[in-house]
Structure 1
């Protein structure tokens, strides 16, 4: 009887622990989070997305201290060259604006750049459950999240959603 009860409990846990589907839209908190551009002007994620309405957007969450981010740059450049019509938005979780700007210059990163002063603790980071950088997301032309999570720019799902 005890084994049967234990089996039932385990089965219920597996059924209830089924993976939740990835979100296809941002939370209000994430949309209203503040990002700072290289000129020091504040922008919300909502305003960044609206600026590029009707275009596919690749979001790259990165940091200048992140080895994986830097090592992936040649592959990222290849994707940028292949998909010239895609908007590349870089969100930095560097500790300081100075190190963020220095990283952009040092590594010649092309695209639209924003600094998240709250870094790992921002509403955006919380929404996307940021646990690793680099982190890539693809936003489709309708403004929906087409790809919620990729940690390598070489992930085939990225190109699948950029096409």
Structure 2
């Protein structure tokens, strides 16, 4: 029975992964989210700079563990041609806003706001998830390294930062 379950799980995973097409280079639609004051923010507003997107939630332990590293990277690259965008997938906007305040997060703090086309496009089924866009809004890496990983700095250097 255990083998049947394992094989079934492997088969399902194979079919899911084989139907996945990476959105690299795809910019047919850049997405609109809400900021802390409820204003709509379009990722197109950041064209001209690399955009490093952090998809997270207030209840996600691994997401919260990346915050100190993300803050360090943001500080290190603050005068560079890159913008950092954090997109919360919290269902509760109050929980999101509370965590932003508690962790003293700054910069581009956005909420998914039922914009599920974003999570569908990138097939985000677990978080944290990091995405890197080029200066024209094209996807460079749809599963970019975490801020705590040294390979992030290498990726940024490879892309002119």
TM range, normalised to the smaller chain?
A: 0.7 to 0.9
Q: Measure, in 2, the Cα distance between the counterparts of 1:68 and 1:118.
A: 22
String of CA shifts for 1:96-122, please: whole Å, max 9, x gaps: 111111110011112201111227xx0
String of CA shifts for 1:47-103, please: whole Å, max 9, x gaps: 322x22211111000111110011111111121122112211111001111111111
Cα RMSD after superposing both structures = 2.4
Match of 1:102 among 61, 82, 98: 98
Q: Secondary structure at the match of 2:142?
A: strand
Alignment-derived partner of residue 65 in structure 1 = 59
Alignment-derived partner of residue 37 in structure 2 = 39
Q: CA 1:75–1:94 in structure 2 vs 1: closer, same or farther (change >3 Å)?
A: same
Alignment-derived partner of residue 23 in structure 1 = 24
Structure 1 runs (4+) deviating above 6 angstroms are: none
Identify the structure with bigger relative contact order (alpha carbons < 8 Å, sequence gap 6+).
2
Alignment-derived partner of residue 155 in structure 2 = 161
String of CA shifts for 1:8-53, please: whole Å, max 9, x gaps: xxxxx9xxx598555222343xx3x54111111223xxx322x222
Contact 2:32 2:43 (C-alpha < 8 Å) held by counterparts: no
Runs (5+) with no aligned partner, structure 1: 1-12
Q: Measure, in 1, the Cα distance between the counterparts of 2:91 and 2:57.
A: 9
Q: Measure, in 2, the Cα distance between the counterparts of 1:63 and 1:19.
A: 24
Q: Give the TM-score taking structure 1 as reference length.
A: 0.74
Q: Give the TM-score taking structure 2 as reference length.
A: 0.75
Q: CA 1:48–1:19 in structure 2 vs 1: closer, same or farther (change >3 Å)?
A: closer
- The number of equivalent residue pairs is 139
